[in-house]
């Protein structure tokens, strides 16, 4: 009887310790989790054209299921070639809810780009290089007023701004201008 009581008390003590350790107050002195790392500017090409019109930008939702725009809409007529923004491996190429979707896992990152509505010219598992054609824009994008490509970026299940993949020189619109160098006469 004594041994049984000892075992019960031991289990009760262990359970109490476990519950205390799992309590949100038990870890109050721990530092907050580290912020997500910044998105590396690994993009080398726009998905469509050389500098397409952004019809609607990225609008992050306040909550996981909240309203927002989880990507960028780029104007592109039906039949326009859609290119891989960066090197990677095709993670998915198929139809979702009647639309063609392509997803590319970017090389050496935990990032994934998505393009829709696109008729795929690649298959799951294909390696792609920056600027390589992965498909063509399908007619009737659904949520744009004109035909467009919805370009998305994810880290795990978290949507990010896909424009952050592009380096500043690729985002710049307009002609390049050279500035004078001090001490060097103008031609």
pLDDT at 154 over 90: yes
Residue 78 in contact with residue 166, Cβ under 8 Å? no
Share of the chain above pLDDT 90, in %: 52
Residue 93: other Cβ atoms inside 10 A:
22
Residue 75 in contact with residue 55, Cβ under 8 Å? yes
pLDDT at 26 over 50: no
pLDDT for 25 equals 47
Q: Where would I find the H helices in the chain?
A: 2-22, 168-171
Least confident range of 10-14, 62-66, 162-166: 10-14
Domain 54-171: which topology? Glucose Permease (Domain IIA) (2.70.70)
Mean pLDDT of the 121-146 span? 91
pLDDT at 75 over 70: yes
pLDDT for 1 equals 59
Residue 12 in contact with residue 19, Cβ under 8 Å? no
Sketch the domain layout of the chain as residue ranges. 54-171
Mean pLDDT of the 89-93 span? 98
pLDDT at 56 over 70: yes
The mean pLDDT value of the chain amounts to: 83
């Amino acid at each position: 009887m004594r041994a049984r009581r000892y075992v019960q008390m031991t289990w009760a003590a262990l359970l109490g310790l476990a519950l205390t350790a799992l309590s949100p107050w038990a870890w109050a002195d721990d530092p907050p989790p580290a912020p997500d790392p910044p998105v590396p500017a690994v993009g080398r090409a726009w998905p469509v054209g050389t500098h397409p019109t952004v019809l609607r930008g990225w609008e992050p939702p306040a909550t996981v299921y909240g309203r927002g725009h989880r990507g960028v809409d780029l104007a592109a007529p039906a039949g326009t070639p859609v290119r891989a923004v960066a090197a990677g491996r095709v993670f998915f190429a198929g139809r979702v809810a009647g639309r063609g979707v392509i997803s590319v896992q970017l090389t050496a990152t935990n990032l994934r780009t998505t393009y829709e509505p696109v008729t795929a010219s690649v298959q799951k598992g294909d390696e792609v290089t920056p600027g390589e054609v992965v498909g063509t824009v399908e007619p009737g994008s659904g949520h744009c007023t004109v035909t467009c490509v919805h370009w998305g970026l994810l880290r795990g299940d978290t949507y990010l701004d896909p424009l952050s993949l592009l380096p500043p020189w690729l985002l710049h619109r307009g002609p390049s201008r050279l500035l004078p160098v001090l001490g060097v006469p103008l031609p």
